[in-house]
Chains A and B, each alone.
Chain A
Amino acid sequence: MAEGLYDGGALPVGARGRDSVGWWGMLCLIATESCLFAYLLFGYFYVALQRGPAWSPEPHPSILLSGPNTAILLASSMAAWWGEGGARRGRRGRHLAGLGVAIGLGALFLLVQVFEWRAKPFGPSAGSYASLYFTTTGFHMAHVVAGLAMLIVVFIWSALGYFTPRRYEPVSISIVYWHFVDAVWLAVFTTFYVSPYLMA
């Protein structure tokens, strides 16, 4: 109906899943935050190349904690995705269980991260590597906290019965943010834990 008056049938009132403007808004937020991390990682590689191989106090960072922790975060994303399917199908148990497991695994990731921070022999002001390490992983942890807060609020709203198979866009919107937080971790992990082996 490009030129005339509207003669189609009934239109959905308000958002339907990924048609909601909120979903599109979240994609904008994800785009800008992805750039934030891209600039942070640019800072890492730029300083690394400028200062040369002796720059890092840990040329071979251990993946003993961060490796399994990566798997935990990915599993959390999977659980959220599974829970979203429950919301779409109106299966309340699966909806809540998926969100609940995602929140639990996300919190576990955070705990392991704090543990790893405390185990580092240097603090954030020890040098530019240390500043970059703590700032980048700190930024990521802040995003994990924000994502968890969203998931928890949505979990409570879900438990209170605010969502139906027709209207559940806050569930999808918070979960896509959670996927983004996980995807960014893969970039951070590759930069700090994998690239030193490739550059050495």
Chain B
Amino acid sequence: MSAWEDARTPRTVRVASDFPGPRLQEIWERRPGLVGWLGDVDHKEIGKRYVLTAFAFLLLGGVEALMMRLQLGGPNLRVLTPEQYDQLFTMHGVSMIFLYAAPILSGFSNYLWPLLLGSRDMAFPRLNALSYWIYLAAGIFIYAGFAVGRGPDDGWFNYVPYASRTFNPGLNMDVYALGLILLGISTTVGSANFVVTFLRTRAPGMSINRVPILTWGTLTASVANLLAVPSVSLAFFLLWLDRQFGMHFFDAAQGQPLLWQHLFWMFGHPWVYAIVLPAMGMVSDGLPTFCRRPLVGYTPVALSTVATMALGFGVWVHHMFATGLPDISLSFFSGASLIITIPSAVAVFAWTATIWLGRPVITTAFLFFASMIVLFVVGGVSGVMTASAPVDWQLTDTYFVVAHLHYVLIGINVFPVLGGAYYWFPKVTGRLLSERLGRWNFWTMFAGFNLGFFPMHLLGLAGMPRRIYTYPAGMGWDTTNLVVSAGSALFAAGVLLFLINVAVSLRRGAPAGDNPWDAPTLEWATASPPPPYNFAVIPSVASRHPLWEDRLGEGQARSRLTEGLLLDHGRETIGTSALDAEPNLILEMPTDSLAPALLAAGLAALFASALFKAWWLVGAAGAVCVAALVLWFWPSRRHAGMPETADG
């Protein structure tokens, strides 16, 4: 390795087909063996790990839901005890909302961002690895409690006083509290990584009005996470202090139980948008590819993404309409909840217009993306209904709300994710998913979903409360519940078809090539699967659709994809200015490292020993964390002009 240079004029080269692969390959590929695997910081590998782990939690949460639907299939069934049912519906919510819905989108974004932005990795590759390891640890932490019968059992929203020690003396709630604080660390560092990556590592020329909408969605969600996650982490920490150290934040006698609901929903509502906006971004980028035209209304869609989030911080009280708050408060939050439909609807009109004005090619991915628009409208309308306080008083805590939130979360998260899987699977694996099996997959899921969840609206209107483990015969709910259970079984069969398609296509799928869909964005300009360094040269970007410029004929400028900055003095990528993406720095990217995995293990040990109040273990784990951090940030001797040793 040559001496460190203070500044350098980066070399511009034109790439032939395999140049300069071998040298960049050597710089960027991971080392062999378990140590290489644990220390890998490549965003593509981390993205894949995120997606696989989140999907595993989706399946677990799905099995929990099926057990509940078995219990609720008819009146007075005794498949589950009330205690088992409580843990199941709570773990179902926790799994889907915390361990699936957000991490799956982090996974897609982690994999895709540097490819979409024309970069070689995220801004903080090691932080990225840390974020994944902590997420995995938090998921295992919560599920370990569930496995020994100490899982959370008070709903994912975890209201006091049910969650207080008086009414819930076991460790169940402490497992949940500490597990969620741990998960919050993962979400926070991951969000910071997305924000800085967006601001500093876009390809030259990719000004902020040229980025794919997915990055707008994930950026908005990440900023919101930075502002909102501390609220829920704090709420859970205070709950733990109440439960284990006799403090008085949430008890009725000396504290204020509603403080919990405020802190929880000040986080919870922005979070709802955080787990749908990136998925909406996937539709905004994927759908136009199959409509053979650019998205209608790029700027309004990008702006409304941000506006939805901003308003989303001012609507949390609509989760608390039935708690006896003053009328003035209800009016304000009801009004805000009605207004938020305006920016939310912008994307719906943009997608519809894109299909209308385009020449749609009906693929499985298109079906998932387009059906999402329908489900979004259904979920949106039931949302507007409950934004009105008098209607909410009638419907709150009934199955109507269950129907609403599943139309929103499955409709705007799961369907786009499945569409995204069909869309980007060829990029990740080099093989196409089967379209034939894909049709069966889509129609089974679409039919099963609507059969399973639409009748819940009717159950809610007929007065069936949420979270009950059984119900007497003769309430008029029997047949509808049977239909709902049958629908959810069909939906699950559809998910199973997806798994079969993945398993079969991984081995026997048709080879994809670089750009099987003839799509316009940068991730399709590199090989499938992409090499460890993503791009042989850093592309420079002249429009929103670098791969469609010739046919769109928008202006004279052309993006350069085969000629650009080489940057091969070690792991490097280009740092650009925040708005216009003009190169202003050569970023030195970190090598693989065990420090993130070590820090995550230390944190997991710290939280586990805190659960059992083993303070000396807490101290030891804390020392491991500090040591990992010091190692991680140890400065380079090269930079100081000191003689080189073996340090990082």
The segment from A69-77, A80-88, A126-134, A184-192 found at the interface with B is A126-134
Answer whether residue B205 sits at the interface, using C-beta atoms and an 8 A cutoff.
yes
Cβ–Cβ < 8 Å partners of A131 in chain B = 238, 241-242, 247-249, 255
The segment from B195-203, B371-379, B386-394 found at the interface with A is B195-203
Q: Are B259 and A153 in contact (CB under 8 A)?
A: no
With A31-B227, A32-B226 already in contact, the answer to whether A3 and B9 are too (CB < 8 A) is no
Closest chain A CB from B301 CB (angstroms)? 23
Q: Quick one: closest A residue to B124, CB to CB? A: A25
CA distance A174 to B637 in the complex (A): 19
Cβ–Cβ < 8 Å partners of A46 in chain B = 256, 259, 262
Q: Are B580 and A2 in contact (CB under 8 A)?
A: yes
Closest chain B CB from A174 CB (angstroms)? 10
Q: Are A163 and B635 in contact (CB under 8 A)?
A: yes
**What sequence of 0s and 1s flags, for each residue 29-53 of chain A, a beta carbon within 8 Å of any chain B beta carbon?**
1011101100110110011001100
**From residue 562 to 591 of chain B, which have CB atoms closer than 8 A to chain A?**
563-565, 569, 575, 580, 582-588
**What sequence of 0s and 1s flags, for each residue 1-32 of chain B, a beta carbon within 8 Å of any chain A beta carbon?**
00011111110100000000000000000000
With A21-B124, A124-B245 already in contact, the answer to whether A6 and B188 are too (CB < 8 A) is no
Q: Which of B9, B123, B199, B249 contacts A9 (CB 8 A)?
A: B9
With A10-B9, A16-B585, A24-B199 already in contact, the answer to whether A164 and B640 are too (CB < 8 A) is yes
With A5-B560, A12-B6 already in contact, the answer to whether A162 and B640 are too (CB < 8 A) is yes
Answer whether residue A121 sits at the interface, using C-beta atoms and an 8 A cutoff.
no
The segment from B56-64, B229-237, B509-517 found at the interface with A is B229-237
Q: Quick one: closest A residue to B635, CB to CB? A: A162
Cβ–Cβ < 8 Å partners of B205 in chain A = 1-3
Closest chain B CB from A148 CB (angstroms)? 12
Q: Which of A10, A21, A24 contacts B8 (CB 8 A)?
A: A10
Answer whether residue A140 sits at the interface, using C-beta atoms and an 8 A cutoff.
no
Cβ–Cβ < 8 Å partners of A47 in chain B = 249, 255-256, 259
Q: Quick one: closest B residue to A37, CB to CB? A: B230
Q: Quick one: closest A residue to B248, CB to CB? A: A128
**What sequence of 0s and 1s flags, for each residue 113-126 of chain A, a beta carbon within 8 Å of any chain B beta carbon?**
00000000000110
Q: Which of A25, A35, A125, A161 contacts B245 (CB 8 A)?
A: A125
Q: Are B233 and A36 in contact (CB under 8 A)?
A: yes
**From residue 140 to 175 of chain A, which have CB atoms closer than 8 A to chain B?**
149, 153, 157, 161-164, 166-167, 170
Q: Are B227 and A35 in contact (CB under 8 A)?
A: yes
Q: Are A28 and B7 in contact (CB under 8 A)?
A: no
Q: Are A35 and B640 in contact (CB under 8 A)?
A: no
Q: Are A32 and B188 in contact (CB under 8 A)?
A: yes
Closest chain B CB from A31 CB (angstroms)? 5
Cβ–Cβ < 8 Å partners of B636 in chain A = 167
Q: Are B633 and A170 in contact (CB under 8 A)?
A: yes
CA distance A1 to B259 in the complex (A): 53
Chain B interface: which size bin? 35 or more
Answer whether residue B246 sits at the interface, using C-beta atoms and an 8 A cutoff.
yes
Which residue, A10, A28, A170, has most C-beta atoms of chain B within 10 A? Answer: A28
CA distance A82 to B236 in the complex (A): 39
Q: Quick one: closest B residue to A19, CB to CB? A: B585
CA distance A29 to B228 in the complex (A): 13
CA distance A16 to B6 in the complex (A): 10
CA distance A46 to B261 in the complex (A): 12
Q: Are B196 and A21 in contact (CB under 8 A)?
A: yes
Q: Quick one: closest A residue to B250, CB to CB? A: A128
Answer whether residue A200 sits at the interface, using C-beta atoms and an 8 A cutoff.
no
Closest chain A CB from B582 CB (angstroms)? 6
CA distance A47 to B262 in the complex (A): 12
Answer whether residue A11 sits at the interface, using C-beta atoms and an 8 A cutoff.
yes
**From residue 87 to 128 of chain A, which have CB atoms closer than 8 A to chain B?**
124-125, 127-128
Q: Are B245 and A128 in contact (CB under 8 A)?
A: no
Answer whether residue B526 sits at the interface, using C-beta atoms and an 8 A cutoff.
no
Cβ–Cβ < 8 Å partners of A161 in chain B = 640, 642
Closest chain A CB from B126 CB (angstroms)? 11
Q: Which of A5, A9, A21 contacts B540 (CB 8 A)?
A: A5
Q: Quick one: closest B residue to A29, CB to CB? A: B192
Cβ–Cβ < 8 Å partners of A5 in chain B = 12, 540, 560, 563-564
Cβ–Cβ < 8 Å partners of A9 in chain B = 9
Q: Quick one: closest A residue to B258, CB to CB? A: A50
Answer whether residue B542 sits at the interface, using C-beta atoms and an 8 A cutoff.
yes
Q: Are B580 and A128 in contact (CB under 8 A)?
A: no
Cβ–Cβ < 8 Å partners of A153 in chain B = 630, 633
CA distance A5 to B9 in the complex (A): 13
Q: Are B256 and A167 in contact (CB under 8 A)?
A: no
Q: Are B642 and A162 in contact (CB under 8 A)?
A: yes
Answer whether residue B641 sits at the interface, using C-beta atoms and an 8 A cutoff.
yes
Q: Are B256 and A1 in contact (CB under 8 A)?
A: no
Q: Which of B266, B583, B641 contacts A164 (CB 8 A)?
A: B641
Q: Are A32 and B626 in contact (CB under 8 A)?
A: no
Q: Quick one: closest B residue to A8, CB to CB? A: B583
Cβ–Cβ < 8 Å partners of A170 in chain B = 633, 635
Q: Are B583 and A12 in contact (CB under 8 A)?
A: no
Q: Which of B7, B238, B246, B262 contacts A13 (CB 8 A)?
A: B7
Answer whether residue B191 sits at the interface, using C-beta atoms and an 8 A cutoff.
yes
Q: Quick one: closest A residue to B542, CB to CB? A: A3
Closest chain A CB from B9 CB (angstroms)? 5
Answer whether residue A195 sits at the interface, using C-beta atoms and an 8 A cutoff.
no
Answer whether residue B263 sits at the interface, using C-beta atoms and an 8 A cutoff.
yes
A6-B540, A164-B640, A167-B636 are known; give 19 further A-B pairs, CB within 8 A: A2-B582, A4-B540, A5-B540, A8-B583, A11-B7, A11-B585, A13-B5, A21-B124, A24-B123, A24-B195, A36-B233, A42-B262, A46-B259, A46-B262, A47-B255, A125-B246, A128-B249, A132-B249, A162-B642
- 27 A-B contacts, Cβ less than 8 Å apart? A1-B583, A5-B564, A6-B564, A11-B7, A11-B8, A11-B585, A12-B585, A13-B7, A14-B585, A14-B586, A15-B585, A21-B123, A32-B191, A32-B192, A32-B229, A35-B226, A36-B230, A39-B234, A47-B259, A125-B247, A128-B254, A131-B242, A135-B241, A161-B642, A162-B635, A162-B639, A164-B641
> Which chain A residues have a beta carbon within 8 Å of chain B's beta carbons?
1-6, 8-16, 19, 21, 24-25, 28-29, 31-33, 35-36, 39-40, 42-43, 46-47, 50-51, 124-125, 127-128, 130-132, 135, 149, 153, 157, 161-164, 166-167, 170
In the A-B complex, the 6 residue pairs with the smallest Cβ-Cβ separation, listed nearest first, are: A28-B192, A36-B230, A125-B246, A131-B247, A3-B557, A167-B639
